[in-house]
């Protein structure tokens, strides 16, 4: 049995063990996956011990994604672009590969589970932190007409747009001034975590708009309630969580699990 784990601080409420157990059952892969707590300043030591004792792969969550990026011996292109690692994998030669599956999980959820179109669409990305950064390359790879990054602190959005300008049509600004309305609004800010939402003008919600919040919980977030009140279709980030897990599972095992039934299982429970 190959050993895997998710590491974070806090970690008690992580759904990842349930998700990976369901993937393992579904695909017949013989894995053991647990959740482990690491000290806030002790990630590198934790990871060294985990892999030295035979561990095969780690998922990494708050607050260790930057530590994991430093810990990895090599990075995938998407991990380097994201500047953060949520998946570590021990390679044949014993070296540790760092990947970031969050953006791919987001895009897979939007495109495949929700069936929301991305190609030629006008996309608004809210936030300019780690979550927004990780979403940029996978979103641009879907050939949208435009991605506008809007952030409370405008210069952070502008800096992010400049950094990724070679990869697609990117604009940026603050929360006061938007270039028209959008087909898809993705909330990659952490406002929902504190039950807040960025102050947004209603005009940015286009006709047939879709609104996605990367945060999930038992109740719709303030952003989701706002968007729904303006007749947008809304979704929370639970599908992104399952999507990033599926990408990690694929990296580790070479088998792509079916996310639909696992997402359905999680939706049926309250957590
Ligand atoms: P994450 O890793 O989740 O992206 P982060 O890197 O700390 O977290 O970034 C948080 C993002 O959410 C930032 O873009 C932040 O805006 P600022 O750059 O202006 O700080 C945004 N954010 C957090 N709380 C917010 C709020 N209440 N309203 C609007 N934006 C908020």
Fold of 103-236: Rossmann fold (3.40.50)
**For the whole model, what pTM was predicted?**
0.96
The confidence score (pLDDT) of residue 220 equals: 96
pLDDT band, residue 269 (cuts 50/70/90): confident
The confidence score (pLDDT) of residue 169 equals: 87
CB 103 within 8 A of CB 76: no
pLDDT band, residue 257 (cuts 50/70/90): very high
Ligand 1 in reach of 57 Cβ (< 6 A): no
**Please, what is the angle between helix 259-268 and helix 238-253, to 10°?**
140
DSSP three-state, residue 13:
coil
Ligand 1 in reach of 153 Cβ (< 6 A): yes
Closest atom of ligand 1 to 132 CA is 4
Ligand 1 in reach of 191 Cβ (< 6 A): yes
pLDDT tens for each residue of 108-126 = 999 999 999 999 999 999 9
Q: What are phi and psi of 130, to 5 degrees?
A: -60, -40
Q: Judge whether 2-100+239-268 and 103-236 match in fold.
A: yes
**Range 4-42 burial, b when 16+ CB lie within 10 A, else e:** bbbbbbebeebbbbbbbebbbeebebebebebeebeeee
pLDDT tens for each residue of 2-25 = 999 999 999 999 999 999 999 999
The complex scores an ipTM of 0.97
User: Architecture of 2-100+239-268 per CATH?
Assistant: 3-Layer(aba) Sandwich (3.40)
Q: Where in the chain are the domains? A: 2-100+239-268, 103-236
For residue 122, indicate whether it is catalytic. Answer: no
Q: What percent of the chain is modeled with pLDDT above 70?
A: 99
Q: What residue owns the CA closest to ligand 1's atom 6?
A: 129
Q: How many helices (H) and strands (E) does the chain have?
A: 10, 12
């Amino acid at each position: 049995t190959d050993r895997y784990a998710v590491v974070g601080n806090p970690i008690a409420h992580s759904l990842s063990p349930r998700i990976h157990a369901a993937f393992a059952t579904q695909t017949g892969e013989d894995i053991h996956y647990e959740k482990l707590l690491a000290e806030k300043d002790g990630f590198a030591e934790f990871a060294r011990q985990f892999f030295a004792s035979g561990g095969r792969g780690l998922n990494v969550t708050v607050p260790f994604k930057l530590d994991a990026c430093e810990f990895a011996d090599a990075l995938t292109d998407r991990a380097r672009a994201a500047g953060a690692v949520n998946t570590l994998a021990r390679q044949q030669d014993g070296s540790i590969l760092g990947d970031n599956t969050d953006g791919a999980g987001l895009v897979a959820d939007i495109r495949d589970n929700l069936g929301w179109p991305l190609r030629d669409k006008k996309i608004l990305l809210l936030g300019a932190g780690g979550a927004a950064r990780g979403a940029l390359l996978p979103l641009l790879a879907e050939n949208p007409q435009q991605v506008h990054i809007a952030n409370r602190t405008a210069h952070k959005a502008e800096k992010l747009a400049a950094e990724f300008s070679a990869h697609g049509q990117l604009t940026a600004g603050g929360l006061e001034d938007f270039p028209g309305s959008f087909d898809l609004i993705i909330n990659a800010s952490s406002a929902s975590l504190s039950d807040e939402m960025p102050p947004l003008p209603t005009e940015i919600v286009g006709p047939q708009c879709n609104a996605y919040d990367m945060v999930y919980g038992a109740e719709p977030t303030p952003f989701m309630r706002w968007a729904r009140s303006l007749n947008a279709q809304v979704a929370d980030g639970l599908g992104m969580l399952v999507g990033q897990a599926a990408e990690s599972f694929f990296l580790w095992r070479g088998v792509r699990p079916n996310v639909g039934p696992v997402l359905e299982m999680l939706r049926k429970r309250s957590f």
